[in-house]
Protein backbone atom coordinates (compact mmCIF):
# COMPACT_ATOMS: atom_id res chain seq x y z
CA UNK A 1 0.00 0.00 0.00
CA UNK A 2 1.31 3.44 -0.94
CA UNK A 3 -0.18 6.30 1.05
CA UNK A 4 -0.79 9.81 -0.27
CA UNK A 5 -0.87 12.80 2.09
CA UNK A 6 -2.55 15.94 0.73
CA UNK A 7 -2.92 19.48 2.05
CA UNK A 8 -4.14 22.90 0.93
CA UNK A 9 -3.30 26.33 2.37
CA UNK A 10 -6.11 28.28 4.06
CA UNK A 11 -6.56 30.60 1.05
CA UNK A 12 -6.74 27.74 -1.44
CA UNK A 13 -3.67 28.97 -3.33
CA UNK A 14 -1.27 26.09 -2.78
CA UNK A 15 -1.88 22.36 -3.05
CA UNK A 16 0.66 19.83 -1.87
CA UNK A 17 0.61 16.06 -2.14
CA UNK A 18 3.21 13.49 -1.20
CA UNK A 19 3.31 9.74 -1.80
CA UNK A 20 5.57 7.07 -0.38
CA UNK A 21 5.31 4.81 -3.45
CA UNK A 22 7.84 2.12 -2.53
CA UNK A 23 5.31 -0.75 -2.41
CA UNK A 24 3.69 0.11 -5.72
CA UNK A 25 7.00 0.55 -7.54
CA UNK A 26 8.40 -2.67 -6.06
CA UNK A 27 5.28 -4.53 -7.24
CA UNK A 28 5.77 -3.12 -10.76
CA UNK A 29 9.44 -4.20 -10.68
CA UNK A 30 8.50 -7.71 -9.55
CA UNK A 31 5.86 -8.10 -12.30
CA UNK A 32 7.91 -6.66 -15.16
CA UNK A 33 11.37 -7.77 -13.92
CA UNK A 34 12.70 -4.31 -14.74
CA UNK A 35 16.40 -3.41 -14.81
CA UNK A 36 17.44 -0.62 -12.37
CA UNK A 37 17.14 2.17 -14.97
CA UNK A 38 13.77 0.81 -16.16
CA UNK A 39 12.59 0.55 -12.53
CA UNK A 40 13.50 4.21 -12.02
CA UNK A 41 11.81 5.41 -15.22
CA UNK A 42 8.63 3.36 -14.76
CA UNK A 43 8.63 3.98 -11.00
CA UNK A 44 8.86 7.76 -11.33
CA UNK A 45 6.06 7.73 -13.93
CA UNK A 46 3.81 5.46 -11.81
CA UNK A 47 4.45 7.66 -8.77
CA UNK A 48 3.42 10.83 -10.62
CA UNK A 49 0.39 9.12 -12.19
CA UNK A 50 -0.86 8.11 -8.73
CA UNK A 51 -0.35 11.70 -7.47
CA UNK A 52 -2.44 13.03 -10.37
CA UNK A 53 -5.03 10.27 -9.83
CA UNK A 54 -5.43 11.16 -6.15
CA UNK A 55 -6.66 14.63 -7.16
CA UNK A 56 -9.55 13.25 -9.22
CA UNK A 57 -13.03 13.56 -7.77
CA UNK A 58 -14.82 10.44 -8.98
CA UNK A 59 -13.72 6.86 -8.32
CA UNK A 60 -14.29 6.00 -11.99
CA UNK A 61 -12.12 8.85 -13.30
CA UNK A 62 -8.91 7.72 -14.96
CA UNK A 63 -5.64 9.35 -15.92
CA UNK A 64 -3.28 7.78 -18.45
CA UNK A 65 0.28 8.87 -19.15
CA UNK A 66 2.22 8.06 -22.33
CA UNK A 67 5.91 8.82 -22.52
CA UNK A 68 7.11 8.20 -26.06
CA UNK A 69 10.88 8.57 -26.21
CA UNK A 70 13.39 7.49 -28.85
CA UNK A 71 15.71 5.96 -26.21
CA UNK A 72 16.29 2.22 -25.62
CA UNK A 73 13.46 1.91 -23.04
CA UNK A 74 10.75 2.59 -25.62
CA UNK A 75 7.32 3.72 -24.59
CA UNK A 76 6.22 4.04 -20.94
CA UNK A 77 2.48 3.75 -20.32
CA UNK A 78 0.76 4.20 -16.95
CA UNK A 79 -2.83 4.52 -15.74
CA UNK A 80 -4.35 5.47 -12.38
CA UNK A 81 -8.00 5.55 -11.37
CA UNK A 82 -9.82 7.60 -8.77
CA UNK A 83 -10.37 4.43 -6.71
CA UNK A 84 -6.70 4.01 -5.83
CA UNK A 85 -5.29 1.62 -8.42
CA UNK A 86 -2.33 2.20 -10.65
CA UNK A 87 -0.68 0.07 -13.34
CA UNK A 88 1.90 0.53 -16.07
CA UNK A 89 4.58 -0.94 -18.27
CA UNK A 90 7.70 -0.02 -20.14
CA UNK A 91 8.28 -1.43 -23.64
CA UNK A 92 11.83 -2.72 -22.99
CA UNK A 93 12.14 -3.49 -19.26
CA UNK A 94 15.56 -5.20 -19.49
CA UNK A 95 17.58 -2.20 -20.74
CA UNK A 96 20.87 -1.59 -18.92
CA UNK A 97 22.82 1.65 -19.33
CA UNK A 98 26.07 2.81 -17.67
CA UNK A 99 25.56 5.12 -14.67
CA UNK A 100 25.95 8.86 -15.22
CA UNK A 101 29.18 10.56 -14.11
CA UNK A 102 27.43 11.57 -10.83
CA UNK A 103 26.72 7.89 -10.09
CA UNK A 104 22.99 8.18 -10.81
CA UNK A 105 20.85 6.01 -13.09
CA UNK A 106 20.68 7.50 -16.59
CA UNK A 107 16.89 7.75 -16.88
CA UNK A 108 17.09 10.66 -19.36
CA UNK A 109 19.41 8.67 -21.63
CA UNK A 110 17.17 5.59 -21.43
CA UNK A 111 14.00 7.56 -22.24
CA UNK A 112 15.51 9.82 -24.92
CA UNK A 113 13.76 12.59 -26.82
CA UNK A 114 10.06 12.55 -27.61
CA UNK A 115 6.77 13.50 -26.04
CA UNK A 116 4.75 13.29 -22.82
CA UNK A 117 0.98 12.98 -23.18
CA UNK A 118 -1.65 12.89 -20.47
CA UNK A 119 -5.24 11.79 -21.04
CA UNK A 120 -7.82 12.45 -18.32
CA UNK A 121 -11.17 10.69 -18.56
CA UNK A 122 -13.37 12.50 -16.06
CA UNK A 123 -16.69 11.05 -17.22
CA UNK A 124 -17.32 13.97 -19.58
CA UNK A 125 -18.24 13.56 -23.24
CA UNK A 126 -14.65 13.75 -24.42
CA UNK A 127 -11.52 12.87 -22.47
CA UNK A 128 -9.06 15.74 -21.94
CA UNK A 129 -5.70 15.29 -23.69
CA UNK A 130 -2.53 17.34 -23.42
CA UNK A 131 0.91 16.81 -24.91
CA UNK A 132 4.32 18.44 -24.59
CA UNK A 133 7.79 17.56 -25.87
CA UNK A 134 10.10 15.86 -23.35
CA UNK A 135 12.55 18.31 -21.76
CA UNK A 136 15.16 15.95 -20.28
CA UNK A 137 13.49 12.53 -20.17
CA UNK A 138 14.20 12.51 -16.41
CA UNK A 139 10.40 12.45 -15.87
CA UNK A 140 9.97 15.01 -13.03
CA UNK A 141 11.22 17.90 -15.22
CA UNK A 142 8.99 16.70 -18.03
CA UNK A 143 5.85 16.71 -15.87
CA UNK A 144 6.78 20.14 -14.48
CA UNK A 145 7.05 21.46 -18.03
CA UNK A 146 3.70 19.83 -18.89
CA UNK A 147 1.92 21.75 -16.12
CA UNK A 148 3.63 25.04 -16.97
CA UNK A 149 3.03 24.77 -20.69
CA UNK A 150 -0.26 22.98 -21.13
CA UNK A 151 -2.04 23.92 -17.89
CA UNK A 152 -0.33 27.23 -17.10
CA UNK A 153 0.03 26.08 -13.49
CA UNK A 154 3.42 26.64 -11.82
CA UNK A 155 4.38 23.39 -10.11
CA UNK A 156 7.26 21.83 -8.29
CA UNK A 157 7.56 18.09 -8.87
CA UNK A 158 10.13 15.85 -7.28
CA UNK A 159 10.15 12.12 -8.03
CA UNK A 160 12.64 9.59 -6.77
CA UNK A 161 13.30 5.85 -6.94
CA UNK A 162 16.25 4.36 -5.05
CA UNK A 163 17.20 0.90 -6.30
CA UNK A 164 18.97 -1.42 -3.84
CA UNK A 165 22.05 -3.53 -4.64
CA UNK A 166 19.80 -6.60 -5.17
CA UNK A 167 17.75 -4.49 -7.67
CA UNK A 168 14.71 -4.33 -5.36
CA UNK A 169 13.17 -0.92 -4.66
CA UNK A 170 14.65 0.54 -1.48
CA UNK A 171 12.75 3.84 -1.53
CA UNK A 172 10.34 5.56 -3.88
CA UNK A 173 8.29 8.67 -3.53
CA UNK A 174 6.96 11.81 -5.10
CA UNK A 175 6.16 15.38 -4.13
CA UNK A 176 3.70 17.47 -6.15
CA UNK A 177 3.26 21.16 -5.31
CA UNK A 178 0.84 23.29 -7.33
CA UNK A 179 0.32 27.05 -7.15
CA UNK A 180 -3.29 27.83 -8.04
CA UNK A 181 -4.37 30.75 -10.25
CA UNK A 182 -4.36 33.96 -8.18
CA UNK A 183 -1.46 32.88 -5.97
CA UNK A 184 0.34 36.04 -4.81
CA UNK A 185 4.09 36.54 -5.16
CA UNK A 186 4.67 36.47 -1.40
CA UNK A 187 3.05 33.02 -0.99
CA UNK A 188 4.84 31.75 -4.10
CA UNK A 189 8.17 32.95 -2.67
CA UNK A 190 7.59 31.14 0.64
CA UNK A 191 6.75 27.89 -1.15
CA UNK A 192 9.67 28.21 -3.53
CA UNK A 193 12.09 28.72 -0.66
CA UNK A 194 10.65 25.77 1.31
CA UNK A 195 10.77 23.44 -1.69
CA UNK A 196 14.32 24.47 -2.64
CA UNK A 197 15.57 23.76 0.86
CA UNK A 198 14.19 20.20 0.90
CA UNK A 199 16.58 17.32 0.19
CA UNK A 200 15.71 14.90 -2.66
CA UNK A 201 12.65 12.71 -2.00
CA UNK A 202 14.57 9.45 -1.57
CA UNK A 203 16.98 11.14 0.87
CA UNK A 204 14.04 12.32 3.02
CA UNK A 205 12.55 8.80 2.97
CA UNK A 206 15.95 7.24 3.80
CA UNK A 207 16.22 9.61 6.77
CA UNK A 208 12.83 8.37 7.97
CA UNK A 209 10.86 11.59 7.35
CA UNK A 210 7.11 10.87 7.27
CA UNK A 211 4.81 12.12 4.53
CA UNK A 212 3.12 14.39 7.08
CA UNK A 213 6.42 16.00 8.03
CA UNK A 214 7.39 16.49 4.38
CA UNK A 215 4.06 18.20 3.58
CA UNK A 216 4.36 20.34 6.74
CA UNK A 217 7.89 21.37 5.66
CA UNK A 218 6.59 22.52 2.26
CA UNK A 219 3.80 24.53 3.92
CA UNK A 220 6.03 26.05 6.65
CA UNK A 221 5.03 29.70 7.23
CA UNK A 222 1.48 29.24 5.86
CA UNK A 223 -1.79 28.20 7.47
CA UNK A 224 -3.00 24.98 5.92
CA UNK A 225 -5.36 22.06 6.42
CA UNK A 226 -5.10 18.40 5.49
CA UNK A 227 -7.22 17.14 2.63
CA UNK A 228 -8.47 13.57 2.40
CA UNK A 229 -5.55 11.32 1.66
CA UNK A 230 -5.66 8.25 -0.53
CA UNK A 231 -4.10 4.82 -0.78
CA UNK A 232 -2.72 3.56 -4.05
CA UNK A 233 -1.91 -0.02 -5.03
CA UNK A 234 -0.47 -1.56 -8.16
CA UNK A 235 -3.37 -3.59 -9.53
CA UNK A 236 -4.35 -4.76 -12.99
CA UNK A 237 -8.03 -4.91 -13.91
CA UNK A 238 -7.66 -7.11 -16.98
CA UNK A 239 -10.18 -9.87 -17.63
CA UNK A 240 -10.94 -12.51 -20.26
CA UNK A 241 -13.90 -10.38 -21.38
CA UNK A 242 -11.68 -7.34 -22.02
CA UNK A 243 -9.14 -9.43 -23.95
CA UNK A 244 -11.99 -10.94 -26.02
CA UNK A 245 -13.20 -7.43 -26.86
CA UNK A 246 -9.67 -6.44 -27.88
CA UNK A 247 -9.38 -9.51 -30.13
CA UNK A 248 -12.77 -8.77 -31.74
CA UNK A 249 -11.68 -5.19 -32.37
CA UNK A 250 -8.65 -6.47 -34.32
CA UNK A 251 -11.15 -7.26 -37.09
CA UNK A 252 -12.02 -10.22 -39.28
CA UNK A 253 -8.81 -10.26 -41.32
CA UNK A 254 -6.53 -10.56 -38.29
CA UNK A 255 -8.72 -13.20 -36.64
CA UNK A 256 -8.87 -15.31 -39.81
CA UNK A 257 -5.07 -15.11 -40.06
CA UNK A 258 -4.75 -16.32 -36.42
CA UNK A 259 -7.14 -19.20 -37.05
CA UNK A 260 -5.50 -20.33 -40.30
CA UNK A 261 -1.88 -19.84 -39.30
CA UNK A 262 -1.68 -20.57 -35.56
CA UNK A 263 -5.00 -22.35 -34.83
CA UNK A 264 -4.88 -20.69 -31.40
CA UNK A 265 -3.93 -17.44 -29.67
CA UNK A 266 -2.05 -16.55 -26.51
CA UNK A 267 -2.42 -13.01 -25.24
CA UNK A 268 -0.23 -11.75 -22.40
CA UNK A 269 -1.49 -8.68 -20.54
CA UNK A 270 0.89 -5.71 -20.88
CA UNK A 271 0.29 -4.63 -17.28
CA UNK A 272 0.48 -7.96 -15.38
CA UNK A 273 1.73 -11.53 -15.94
CA UNK A 274 -1.73 -12.92 -16.81
CA UNK A 275 -1.82 -15.03 -20.01
CA UNK A 276 -5.12 -15.63 -21.82
CA UNK A 277 -5.31 -18.67 -24.10
CA UNK A 278 -7.83 -19.10 -26.91
CA UNK A 279 -8.49 -22.32 -28.84
CA UNK A 280 -9.26 -22.42 -32.55
CA UNK A 281 -12.93 -22.99 -31.71
CA UNK A 282 -13.01 -19.97 -29.39
CA UNK A 283 -11.36 -17.81 -32.06
CA UNK A 284 -14.03 -18.88 -34.56
CA UNK A 285 -16.68 -17.77 -32.06
CA UNK A 286 -14.94 -14.37 -31.73
CA UNK A 287 -14.77 -14.15 -35.53
CA UNK A 288 -18.56 -14.55 -35.68
CA UNK A 289 -18.92 -11.64 -33.23
CA UNK A 290 -16.47 -9.55 -35.27
CA UNK A 291 -18.60 -10.19 -38.39
CA UNK A 292 -21.83 -9.03 -36.75
CA UNK A 293 -20.21 -5.77 -35.60
In the complex, the residues that contact Zn ion under the rule CB under 5 A are: 236, 238, 269, 271-272, 274
Give whichever of 44 and 87 is closer to Zn ion, judged by the CB atom.
87
Least Å distance, CB 243 to Zn ion, is 9
Strands of the sheet with 14-20, listed across from one edge: 128-133, 114-121, 62-69, 76-81, 85-90, 224-234, 2-9, 14-20, 169-179, 155-163
Least Å distance, CB 239 to Zn ion, is 8
Contact status, residue 5 vs residue 226, Cβ threshold 8 Å: yes
Contact status, residue 240 vs residue 274, Cβ threshold 8 Å: no
Taking residue 58's Cβ as centre, other Cβ atoms within 10 Å add up to: 12
- Give 86: exposed, middle or buried? Use CB within 10 Å, 0-12, 13-18, 19+: buried
Give whichever of 242 and 263 is closer to Zn ion, judged by the CB atom.
242
Least Å distance, CB 31 to Zn ion, is 9
Give whichever of 5 and 269 is closer to Zn ion, judged by the CB atom.
269
Least Å distance, CB 198 to Zn ion, is 36
Give whichever of 48 and 272 is closer to Zn ion, judged by the CB atom.
272
What's the rounded Cα separation, in Å, for the pair 131 and 149?
9
Least Å distance, CB 269 to Zn ion, is 3
Give whichever of 180 and 238 is closer to Zn ion, judged by the CB atom.
238
Amino acid sequence: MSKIIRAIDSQGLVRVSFIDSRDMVEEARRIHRTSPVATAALGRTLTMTALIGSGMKDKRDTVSVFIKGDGPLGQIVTTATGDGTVKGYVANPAVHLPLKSNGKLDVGGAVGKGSLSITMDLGLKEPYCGQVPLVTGEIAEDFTYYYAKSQQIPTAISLGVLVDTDYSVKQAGGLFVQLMPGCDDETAAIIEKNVTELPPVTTMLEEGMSGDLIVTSVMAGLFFKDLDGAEYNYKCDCSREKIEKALISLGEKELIAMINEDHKAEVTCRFCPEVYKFTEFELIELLKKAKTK
